[in-house]
Structure 1
């Protein structure tokens, strides 16, 4: 008699049983279901918290608009100092950039006013803030009559797909609902071209170019083709990515060194700028401010240097910068508390030396956290000159133009401290302390020696240069 097949017997040859049914798999499936359910619940809690935060941000913004309009008797424009100051207030509270707050509020107001169904989904915790903001951005230029259909589709998408997919699908829907407006929207978007830089880790940074898709595609293709051509040469060991970065860098920096071309020159086939020729025009020279310790400059140490508006750079890069620089300024710094003891006095006029001291103390804008390098920013009197403010380091600060305007119009009260710390107090009760990169010690000034710590053409790290180093 044949034995009856048991549960643990292997299946017959040719038998198909793809679905496991053992008790172990059943337990595993239960754990998976529990995990997935818990993750979904936590995600909904996070979405609800994001919705509450955005509602509070919008309520505060609405209250500010009402208050300022009552005081000034006019409606505020998006570029008014009061609006930027309130953005900065919220940025300080939430510890993010002003630009981030501005985008959140703009997108939130759009979603609340134009997409009520999608907004209700957001308030119920069924969609993330990222997805809601992606939907809001795609309403730009959309006619009022098309908003209900757009809103219904958006309400479904924000619950079911990723934010990147929401943006793509709703963009296609917008163009289908309003095909004639697509051309106008592109023309308006093209006016918002920009370039920005942001620091990265390990002495690196990122340069971003936001322009038309056709221009970016052409730029990328040109850079890639040049890199591929270099990649095939004998002795070339750089990767394609490294070559593309180097090609782009050389094109920008060396392109700025040559005189501008005439309109219609083959170098400018689209003639979008017009004639760049001007009498006595000099080639553009890029300027950077780098603070380098003396030991690093002479090669006896490897402490990192600081690139204004970007962050730290390694010692070897700093020495390469020194080797190619045209001008530099010596500063004596206390090795204990990093306070400035003295600054090179070889400048003919004191204000130039004072400006360099301010740039060392604050390498970038101290107001808006925008990262604008100090040599491109304004020098602001904390106590204004007409109120008997002195032109001294303890009454001066480095500000971008927008921060300067917000402070001068009374939305911020600024106080300086002897060590160079600056306290910003806004009219809505927020406080922010800005610490100096280097403090200034005025009670014990010192005279710097006549000889520099190293001479041009002298090998860095030589005994002769080491004997001349400061400190």
Structure 2
């Protein structure tokens, strides 16, 4: 074999393999984009069918009390969320994105179907077009789609913001006033005993708050303080939110919210059972060390054993509608979140619902009560969603489509 019959270098041979694999990955990405386009068509068809059914129910006098459009929107979101095992907000986003792609942004949908853009690129277009007048969507796509094949999704989104500002008929001042209505705070559990606390705020308020935290954190640094600036910022924000003051300032302590920590008895006694970890309400498992510290020293934390104390009221039968305080706490520990399929809203801010309505002879008992957030409490009463208590705190839900779902209690408690 002559030298010319061999690859010029070993690197060249590897490069050939790398190039082939990259070609395969690109082809798979194009296929993924095409499937996403097909999914958008199917999801929007689901939306249309449920909307038609809601209109028929309204004409037949079978409406639950909500406006037809609201009923259709809520039923479509909850049906899709339960079927795909995603959050209701994610399902609603998928419904909105699919409707936009298949109705008002046909150019973007075509590019997605052909694999010319990824789903992330398509959603960048959808998001920035969201509150533009439909009449300007064609101009918006015309200006953006040529860039979609050469930019990253983040780069396309940045370009889309510029185009959007040029085409938007409303002033930015007016849109800022509207956006402020969506301000809020979100808690997202993370790994290893940590969590993200995210606030969506007006830009000037967020900037001012960050600068204040940074200034305080910078002033705390010194030879004896081995924390990084990022760590000091985190500690300052925790102190300000948790106590209302920074540790060591001597200006007093604020009011703390009640937090529930469920601690196995053996953990408090020093026995570490890996099958029975302590849990923090709204988060999940925490270390035994943290649980012992909270149980021993933190007055704002309610310490609960995995079995309720003798004497806890579990039923008041038909004597009264109002749920007594000790039973409310028991239910809060058992449920931890709203008990609708896929909902993660905390029980602390949810309603306690009688599964069988009080007016239909439902008792105020632990086995006829469950936490539902306000949105899903209303959904239960305004739509064809049905729920049944199967025992042991298990809820069995039946969707308007007839599909069935089960939600289990966060904590199994003795009754």
Give the equivalent residue in structure 2 for 1:47.
Answer: 33
Give the equivalent residue in structure 1 for 2:44.
Answer: 58
- Secondary structure of 1:90's match? helix
Q: Give the aligned length.
A: 391
Of the three residues 276, 282, 286, the one matched with 2:257 is 286
Alpha-carbon separation, structure 1, partners of 2:241 and 2:207: 17
Of the three residues 404, 407, 411, the one matched with 2:384 is 411
Alpha-carbon separation, structure 2, partners of 1:314 and 1:329: 15
Equivalent residues of 1:131, 1:162 under 8 A apart: yes
Within the alignment, does 1:108 sit opposite 2:98 as a pair? Answer: yes
Within the alignment, does 1:359 sit opposite 2:332 as a pair? Answer: yes
Of the three residues 7, 29, 38, the one matched with 2:24 is 38
Alpha-carbon separation, structure 1, partners of 2:182 and 2:69: 15
Gaps of 5+ in 2: 247-253, 317-323
Residues 317-361 of structure 1: CA deviation (Å, up to 9, x unaligned): 22222222257465563xxxxxxxx53427899622222221221
Residues 152-173 of structure 1: CA deviation (Å, up to 9, x unaligned): 1332233332221111101011
Structure 1 residues 145 and 56: CA distance shift in structure 2, 3 A: closer
Structure (1 or 2) with the greater helix fraction? 2
Deviates more, 1:30-39 or 1:115-124: 30-39
Equivalent residues of 1:359, 1:374 under 8 A apart: yes
Of the three residues 224, 237, 242, the one matched with 1:235 is 224
TM-score by length of structure 2 reads 0.85
Equivalent residues of 2:262, 2:303 under 8 A apart: no
Of the three residues 239, 242, 256, the one matched with 1:253 is 242
* 1:89-100 equivalences in 2 (<5 Å): 89-100=79-90
TM-score by length of structure 1 reads 0.75
Q: Cα distance, 1:109 vs. partner? A: 1.8
Q: Cα distance, 1:149 vs. partner? A: 2.3
Q: Cα distance, 1:131 vs. partner? A: 1.6
Equivalent residues of 2:30, 2:115 under 8 A apart: yes
* 1:114-125 equivalences in 2 (<5 Å): 114-125=104-115
Equivalent residues of 2:341, 2:407 under 8 A apart: no
Give the equivalent residue in structure 2 for 1:265.
Answer: none
Of the three residues 359, 363, 382, the one matched with 2:355 is 382
Structure 1 residues 256 and 369: CA distance shift in structure 2, 3 A: farther
Alpha-carbon separation, structure 2, partners of 1:348 and 1:430: 32
Equivalent residues of 2:34, 2:115 under 8 A apart: yes
Give the equivalent residue in structure 1 for 2:267.
Answer: 296
Structure 1 residues 32 and 153: CA distance shift in structure 2, 3 A: farther
Give the equivalent residue in structure 2 for 1:201.
Answer: 191
- Secondary structure of 2:185's match? strand
Q: Cα distance, 1:405 vs. partner? A: 0.9
* 1:64-103 equivalences in 2 (<5 Å): 64-73=50-59, 80-103=70-93
Q: Cα distance, 1:410 vs. partner? A: 3.7
Q: Cα distance, 1:177 vs. partner? A: 3.0
Give the equivalent residue in structure 2 for 1:445.
Answer: none
Query: Once superposed, what is the RMSD of the aligned Cα atoms?
Result: 3.0
Equivalent residues of 1:112, 1:119 under 8 A apart: yes
Q: Cα distance, 1:130 vs. partner? A: 1.9
Q: Cα distance, 1:402 vs. partner? A: 0.8
Which structure has the bigger radius of gyration?
1
Of the three residues 311, 331, 334, the one matched with 1:345 is 311
Equivalent residues of 2:55, 2:68 under 8 A apart: no
Of the three residues 210, 215, 233, the one matched with 1:244 is 233
